[in-house]
Amino acid sequence: MLLSGCATMSPGDRGSQTTPNVDPIDPYENINRKFYNFTDTLDRHILKPVANVYIEYVPSPLRRSIGNFYDNMGYPNVVLNVFLQGKVRQGFEDTLRFAVNSTIGLFGLFDMATPMGLAQHDEDFGQTLGVWGVNTGAYLYLPFHGPSSSRDISSIPIGMVTNVLFYVGSAAIFAPIGVLGIIDKRARFSDAMIIRDQAALDPYLFVREASLQQRKHLIYDGNLPPESYADSLGDSLESISVPEGVSQNNPPEDRSADKSWSLQGDPVKDRRIGGFMSLPQEGDGYKAGTTGSAGDDSSRTSSGRARQ
């Protein structure tokens, strides 16, 4: 998933445009880039060094428990949106998962639900709106938060009020918990940030394309319809020249069975690349080649899942 963002397109590659040099999915690119650079500067000079110390000196099992705790505190948001999306059985399973980890798992410090067959999911209100048929809208990069869109921005306040920590009244308790949560989130993004910095010629475009594709992947629960694959090629197919010696009667070697190119990742752990304030959670693996056009939301599938 992360490396698929490297194949970023210049604004003119997305198809027809109403305004020269303006990408329809990113009409506010100028201000978005400023917010991105501002956030990235803060990250490199403050959060990254702190996160590196956190990773070096805090044992991995303890970091895992801390991450489990924050994931569990925000899990009511997942439960709410699973039901809003009409996935009733999964909703009851996620409710049970939250109950098990909050009790037996000591407020989520220990993930006792997964071994019981209660898998962790990632849902938010932006995904719910996507399922209901709301288009992605304009891409936005929010300071201190990361990639979003005019549709997904609505998930921020809902995610806050459905987080158990929102109701911790004492600032003396909430402040250190909040700071530790930010550091833990940044630490969990360390590998993704390294990939971004090493692989992307334009980190902003890398983050934009990767996040938009990932949102589409999450809305479809990883099962993108065939038309999404065609959309990812778009009009660029018309400009591709057929290699010499290759034709319908002489096709190239079929490498479809070769899985060596597949990139297995954890898209929910890396749900937002470049936004250190984003909350990663567990999810299914991702394989390269399953992304679609990030900005096209015009159709729905027979299962009722709206295209992102």
pLDDT digits (tens, 9 = 90+) for 122-155: 999 999 999 999 999 999 999 989 999 999 999 9
Quick one: pLDDT at residue 231?
56
Is residue 246 situated within a structural domain? no
Tokens read off for 131: 């399922």
Is residue 247 situated within a structural domain? no
Is residue 240 situated within a structural domain? no
Is residue 7 situated within a structural domain? no
Tally of structural domains, the chain: 1
Is residue 276 situated within a structural domain? yes
Contact 253, 243 (CB under 8 A): no
Burial letters 259-285, b for 16+ CB under 10 A, else e = eeeeeebbbbbbbbbbbbbbbbbbbbe
Is residue 241 situated within a structural domain? no
Distance of CA 284 to CAs 2, 253, 307, Å?
14, 30, 19
Is residue 176 situated within a structural domain? yes
Is residue 9 situated within a structural domain? no
The span from the CA of 286 to the CA of 142, in Å, is: 25
Range of the domain at 189: 24-228+260-308
SS3 label, residue 147: strand
Contact 274, 207 (CB under 8 A): yes
What are the pLDDT tens digits along the chain (308 aa)?
444 444 444 444 444 444 457 788 999 999 999 999 999 999 999 999 999 999 999 999 999 999 999 999 999 999 999 999 999 999 999 999 999 999 999 999 999 999 999 999 999 999 999 999 999 999 999 998 999 999 999 999 999 999 999 888 777 788 888 899 999 999 988 888 888 888 768 999 999 999 999 999 899 888 887 765 555 544 334 433 444 444 444 444 444 344 333 333 343 444 444 444 433 333 333 333 333 344 444 333 334 444 44
Contacts of 271 (CB under 8 A, 6+ apart): 122, 214, 218, 278, 279, 280, 281, 283
